[in-house]
Structure 1
Amino acid sequence: MADAPTAPSVAPGTRATIGDSEFDRDTAVTRRESGVPGVYDIDLSADWTIMGAVNGGYLLAVLGRALADTLPHADPFSVSAHYLTASRPGPAVIRAELVRTGRTLSTGQASLFQYDEEGREVERIRVLASYGDLDALPEDVRTSAEPPAIPPIEKCFGAEDSPTPVLGGSGITERLLLKLDPATLGWALGSPSGKGEMRGWFGLADGREADPFSLLLAVDALPPTAFELGLSGWVPTIELTTHVRARPAPGPLRVSVTTRNLAGGFLEEDAEVWDSADRLVAQSRQLARVRLAEGA
């Protein structure tokens, strides 16, 4: 188990609140008053990009907000996303619809579209999700899962500690308080461990506390485990399924990501997100493509 977590280093009086933060503003969707239900507009922010690509977790949160507005339940329970084409910063439209609703769960689907250089509408991502009420869940927990052992935040390292900037630029690193376990940073020193593991502390840089929508970001916020397997470059997500298990307690989150199998140019990543109360609050699995060097 990790040492007792300490609060992220945000100056007193400057901490953003849920609903009034950079993350909330940049994931907010605007419902069209066109008489057609479930249509939303958003301007995807370049502040949530890595190597020029819009982060998949940020996109998941954007679509998650549209579905929360469309469905009768407010909290994401299970969100499965297929990333069809690479999203770019700029205008996008979301079309969401209710598939089925019940007393405790509702299911919906949503797609995000942008226009290409020739003015044609292109679907970027498609999501199928189930929503409910996290506060109505029973408190009984029976688990064999344990929080990841991560050194205290002050003994971990972030992008600001790197001597060289991220190749291609990274707006998202300035939006996050991300401190990685030194044991998973061999790739940054030219000596990857080969273990396919990434662990670290996660928070938002403006001090906003975690909620179910920021958990959708957290599962895809750490560097790819492919880096610790000795690979580099963009690792685009093909499919990502996230389960939100509980509303997180205040304080920084601990995120652990592992890969057990890289084959045929694809790998899986299993992520766990733990809150300051040692509760497993989110889990995910994604399939991602890696670019292998010729002859590898």
Structure 2
Amino acid sequence: MPEAASAQPTRAPIGASEFDRDTAVTPREPGVYDIDLSAGWTIMNAVNGGYLLAVLGRALADALPHSDPFTISAHYLTASRPGPAVVRTETVRTGRTLSTGQASLFQQDEEGREVERIRVLASYGDLDALPDDVRTAAEPPAIPPMGSASVPRTVPPRRRQLRHHRTPDAQARPVDPGMGARTAVGQGEMRAWFGLADGRDPDPFALLLAVDALPPTAFELGLSGWVPTVELTVHVRSRPAPGPLRVSVTTRNLAGGFLEEDAEVWDSENRLVAQSRQLARARL
């Protein structure tokens, strides 16, 4: 067999990928962490909200007695910029199965004053201790297989390994016509395969990125430009299985200059592993 045909692609292990390096926080003192926000995760010069959520999620995982995010709600107060930042955490409550904490990320402005960028409240537990019983009416989104000719490839590569969005370590294969050419279809839905470009398998923190990794549904509604997140809540339902994720994001109502985005993330075993809702401002 030719060497090229038998070679297997290299897969970065969890803990050793670009995503892990860029979301790693350094303890300064109990409950306080330093990080240098990577410029590779920017959207129109502002840092991606899912990446920021993963950063704060890692800080809380270190600060709390439980390591897995179950629910995390974030309010985005001011736009984060690449560069140094500090995360301050506080333990609100600890219990046998759940612990709750809050965290804020701060940066300095041009005059050296500390500015709060994002504040989160989260509950953590042990995903591996959850019961296996599932009763659901939810179904995975209908997405053609990866590599299918029916999956458009109209989006040009951007920085480094970027496929459709300004997150360098992520790939998404779009399946909705509006995702590539920004042609308004009017149904307010985005669907895509999602995976880290270096082959790293997903974990709960990658799910925090995945819910905010697709282009805004506003593009599919005929709008363009930045769609800043005001609030984002993520529910992590299960530890994802290895392999690519399927992500579906829908908007049912755009009114008053704001829209909601409801996201579902499904793993390679057809399990609904994360859900989210965010409120975002639409620039009309």
In the other structure, the counterpart of 1:3 is: none
In the other structure, the counterpart of 1:180 is: 174
Structure 1 residue 112 and structure 2 residue 105: aligned?
yes
**Structure 2: how far apart are the matches of 1:259 and 1:91?**
34
In the other structure, the counterpart of 2:65 is: 72
1:232-271 correspondence runs (5 A): 232-271=224-263
Query: Aligned pair count?
Result: 273
Cα distance, 1:187 vs structure 2: 5.6
**Contact 1:47/1:171 (8 A) holds in 2:** no
**Structure 2: how far apart are the matches of 1:281 and 1:194?**
27
Structure 1 residue 191 and structure 2 residue 147: aligned?
no
**Contact 2:218/2:224 (8 A) holds in 1:** yes
1:190–1:56 distance in 2 versus 1, CA, 3 Å: closer
**Structure 2: how far apart are the matches of 1:213 and 1:84?**
21
In the other structure, the counterpart of 1:28 is: 24
After superposition, the C-alpha distances for 1:18-63 in whole angstroms (9 at most, x for unaligned) are 0111000000000004xxx200000000111122211000000000
Of residues 203, 219, 222 in structure 2, which corresponds to 1:230?
222
Cα distance, 1:165 vs structure 2: 6.0
TM-score (norm 1): 0.89
Structure 1 residue 126 and structure 2 residue 126: aligned?
no
Structure having greater relative contact order (Cα 8 Å, sep ≥ 6): 1
**Structure 1: how far apart are the matches of 2:156 and 2:98?**
48
Q: Equivalent residue of 2:110, what SS?
A: coil
1:164–1:139 distance in 2 versus 1, CA, 3 Å: closer
In the other structure, the counterpart of 2:280 is: 288
1:36-75 correspondence runs (5 A): 37-75=30-68
Instruction: Give % identity.
Output: 78
RMSD over aligned CA atoms reads 1.7
In the other structure, the counterpart of 1:144 is: 137
1:259–1:190 distance in 2 versus 1, CA, 3 Å: closer
After superposition, the C-alpha distances for 1:121-163 in whole angstroms (9 at most, x for unaligned) are 00000000000000000000000000000011113245xx435
In the other structure, the counterpart of 1:217 is: 209
In the other structure, the counterpart of 2:81 is: 88
TM-score (norm 2): 0.92
Amino acid at match of 1:179: R
Amino acid at match of 1:254: R
1:225–1:190 distance in 2 versus 1, CA, 3 Å: closer
**Contact 1:77/1:244 (8 A) holds in 2:** yes
Amino acid at match of 1:52: N
**Contact 2:267/2:273 (8 A) holds in 1:** yes
**Structure 2: how far apart are the matches of 1:142 and 1:164?**
40
Q: Equivalent residue of 1:43, what SS?
A: strand
Q: Equivalent residue of 2:186, what SS?
A: coil
Cα distance, 1:13 vs structure 2: 5.0
**Structure 1: how far apart are the matches of 2:182 and 2:11?**
36
1:268–1:92 distance in 2 versus 1, CA, 3 Å: same
Amino acid at match of 2:147: E
**Structure 1: how far apart are the matches of 2:46 and 2:89?**
23
Q: Equivalent residue of 1:191, what SS?
A: coil
